[in-house]
Amino acid sequence: MSNPSLALESSSLTAWQAVLRGLKESPEFLRGFWVTLLLALVATAGRIVTPIAIQQTIDHGLRGPHGPDLPFVRWMVALATVAVVVTAAAGYAMNVRLYRAAEGGLATLRIKAFRHVHDLSVLHQNSERRGALVSRVTSDVDTISQFVQWSGMLAIVSVGQLATSTVLMAVYSWQLTLLVWACFLPLFLLVRTFQRRLQRAYGRVRERVGEMLAAISESVVGAAVVRAYGIEDRTAKRIDEGIERFKKAQTRAQTVVALTFSTGEVVAAFATGALVVAGVLLGVDRQITLGELVAFLFLVNLFITPVQLGTEVLNEAQNAAAGWRRVLGLLDTRPDVADPGADGVELPRGPIEVRFEHVSYAYPGGPTVLHDVDLVIAPRSRVAVVGETGSGKTTFAKLLTRLMDPTEGRVLFDGVPLTRVRFSSLRERVVMVPQDGFLFDASLRDNIRYGKPDATDEEIRLALTELGLADWLDGLRRGLDTPVGQRGESLSAGERQLVALARAYIADPDLLVLDEAT
């Protein structure tokens, strides 16, 4: 079995640890980071210029010792205009670069997660609901997308904006700056408490999303069975319950977010009112000019905005961290049937001798299905493995094709342990036709070509003719262009098996395994 402790370790990561691990898995996120950060700093600096220009305009352009100085006012207006344009241009360039880097990183993450799902054994895939696995590659990655494309850089910009606005506010009035921080410091401490609650809440949300998608996926795939047994109401009830659990989990998380945001609104309103009163009092004592007070209020707005947005950033960060943990939990799950890769061996073409040496197999938590199997299958021989339902015939076939590894003993091909054979060589030499004859949503031609991607139409027709299926093919109105539908549902069960057999036949394997496929 795959190692569950690694997935458990990923689930215990803090939000910051999860983000750092995620960036390590997808370095494309950080491509051009320093240029993007420089653009963010330029945009932040541009926002700071406007309050300074306003202060200079009021104190020196309109209220100067010799009356209004219109040239100075025009110069300040021009400066503020340039700052606004530069800020907009830098912000645009920053967002474009950020989106491109984010999409590159997300594509890499999706590809790695998808490929890792296929690296896991059939046993592991069956141990987790398919919809839950799909959600890790789709919806969980989508939550990360929302964070890295907006909230991630916003968090960095906000920190810079907080720092620069604090410094400039202190230059204008250290007393009012202390008042601002006195109002907001308790909020920062409160946010840390909310952050822990959000971490738990969004962890449950991502779990409920996986459960909901799994239930919906099962009901769609099994729609024919649902209708055949008239269990639409029962199936709908299961889906309704999954949706309801997701709704409750999401509501709990959003309640914490709303509480955080509302608290920030109250603190911001209180701080603004207190600043106006304190600023007027300082102005009366001539400790601050009118221009400085107006500029200070603009700077306070630059200070408050990232604080208020911080609640939304916190919301997205915890949601994304929950998605990161689930994706990392998948990537950290070690395949229990591993490809030896470059350290493995290639099997030469030709007939294969198969040997089982004291092979036993037991499913996790279940009884032993195969016990001390010792046999030799000579090259070019035809062997039928028979037995009652549940006696281990399919297990035998999966061990033979290394979809699973034995719990005891070993399987050898031409004297080489199967665990040492590269997957590329094994899949080329050995083909298995399973019981269900799965087909992809494509044409008949494309499904057969999964056995041999470069097969021509003539080769496909020849294979069907040699299998005695030429008349069947001629009876299809669109021939090889016939669409088979999702899971081959446009064909009958027997026809699906015929296509699966043709796919295996055209692959020309040295060893063909039929799991009740006839």
69-114 residue pLDDT tens? 788 888 888 988 898 899 889 888 988 888 888 888 888 888 888 8
311 lies in the same domain as 374: no
Contact 102, 146 (CB under 8 A): no
232 lies in the same domain as 380: no
Between 125 and 185, whose confidence is greater?
185
326 lies in the same domain as 400: no
224 lies in the same domain as 132: yes
484-499 residue pLDDT tens? 887 777 888 888 888 8
- Among 266, 301, 331, residue at a domain's last position: 331
pLDDT of residue 356: 92
429-438 residue pLDDT tens? 888 888 777 8
129-146 residue pLDDT tens? 565 667 777 777 777 777
305 in any annotated domain: yes
89 in any annotated domain: yes
Query: What CATH number corresponds to the domain at position 436?
Result: 3.40.50.300
Share of the chain above pLDDT 70, in %: 89
246-292 residue pLDDT tens? 888 888 888 877 777 777 778 777 777 887 788 777 766 667 788 87
363-420 residue pLDDT tens? 877 788 888 889 999 988 888 888 887 778 888 888 888 888 888 999 999 888 998 9
**Cβ burial 71-91 (10 Å sphere, 16+ → b, else e):** eebeebeebbeebeeebeebb
Token pair recorded at residue 205: 């949300």
CA distance 394 to 389: 10
Contact 109, 328 (CB under 8 A): no
Single-letter code of the amino acid located at 116:
H
CA distance 177 to 252: 36
Between 99 and 310, whose confidence is greater?
99
Contact 323, 141 (CB under 8 A): yes
Share of the chain above pLDDT 90, in %: 5
Count of structural domains within the chain? 2
> At a CB cut-off of 8 Å and minimum separation 6, what does 81 contact?
none
Token pair recorded at residue 318: 């915890």
Instruction: Please state the φ and ψ torsions of residue 368, each to the nearest 5 degrees.
Output: -70, 125
**Spatial CA neighbour of 93 closest among 31, 40, 44:** 40
pLDDT of residue 89: 92
Pairing outcome for strands 511-514 and 430-433: parallel
306 lies in the same domain as 392: no
337 in any annotated domain: no
- Among 261, 296, 331, residue at a domain's last position: 331
124 lies in the same domain as 232: yes
pLDDT of residue 141: 77
271 in any annotated domain: yes
Q: Please, which pLDDT band fits residue 125 given cuts at 50, 70 and 90? A: low
Enumerate the H helices of 450-487 as residue ranges: 457-466, 470-474
336 in any annotated domain: no
68 lies in the same domain as 105: yes
- Among 273, 308, 331, residue at a domain's last position: 331
331-350 residue pLDDT tens? 887 777 888 888 888 888 88
**DSSP letters of 103-164?**
HHHHHHHHHHHHHHHHHS-HHHHHHS-HHHHHHHHTHHHHHHHHIIIIIHHHHHHHHHHHHH
Contacts 24+ apart (CB under 8 A), 448-452: 448/480, 448/499, 448/502, 448/503, 448/506, 449/506, 450/503, 451/502, 451/503, 451/504, 451/505, 451/506, 451/507, 452/506, 452/507, 452/508
349 lies in the same domain as 312: no
Q: Please, which pLDDT band fits residue 8 given cuts at 50, 70 and 90? A: very low
184 lies in the same domain as 259: yes
393 lies in the same domain as 306: no
Give the start-end residues of each E strand in 383-428.
Answer: 408-413, 416-417
Q: What separation in angstroms does the CA of 330 have from each of 254, 327, 409?
A: 26, 5, 29
CA distance 317 to 144: 8
Residue 127 in this model has a pLDDT that exceeds 60: no
Q: Is 363 strand, coil or helix?
A: coil
**Spatial CA neighbour of 413 closest among 349, 366, 358:** 349
**Owning domain of residue 86:** 4-331
- Tell me the average pLDDT of the chain: 80
310 lies in the same domain as 361: no
pLDDT of residue 285: 63
**Spatial CA neighbour of 492 closest among 467, 478, 472:** 472
CA distance 27 to 108: 9
Query: What CATH number corresponds to the domain at position 198?
Result: 1.20.1560.10
pTM for this entry: 0.66
384 in any annotated domain: yes
Residue 6 in this model has a pLDDT that exceeds 50: no
Find residue 370's DSSP bridge partners.
361
pLDDT of residue 85: 92
pLDDT of residue 121: 62
141 in any annotated domain: yes
CA distance 285 to 251: 51
Q: Please, which pLDDT band fits residue 66 given cuts at 50, 70 and 90? A: low
Secondary structure string (H, E, C) spanning 189-244? HHHHHHHHHHHHHHHHHHHHHHHHHHHHHHHHHCHHHHHHCCCHHHHHHHHHHHHH
- Cβ-based neighbour number of residue 61 at 10 Å: 21
348 lies in the same domain as 294: no
244 in any annotated domain: yes
Q: What separation in angstroms does the CA of 354 have from each of 419, 421, 425?
A: 13, 13, 15
Length, in residues, of the chain:
518
Residue 452 half-sphere exposure, CB side, CA atoms within 13 Å? 18
Single-letter code of the amino acid located at 469:
L
Instruction: Please state the φ and ψ torsions of residue 361, each to the nearest 5 degrees.
Output: -145, 135
Contact 94, 43 (CB under 8 A): yes
**Spatial CA neighbour of 202 closest among 249, 255, 138:** 249
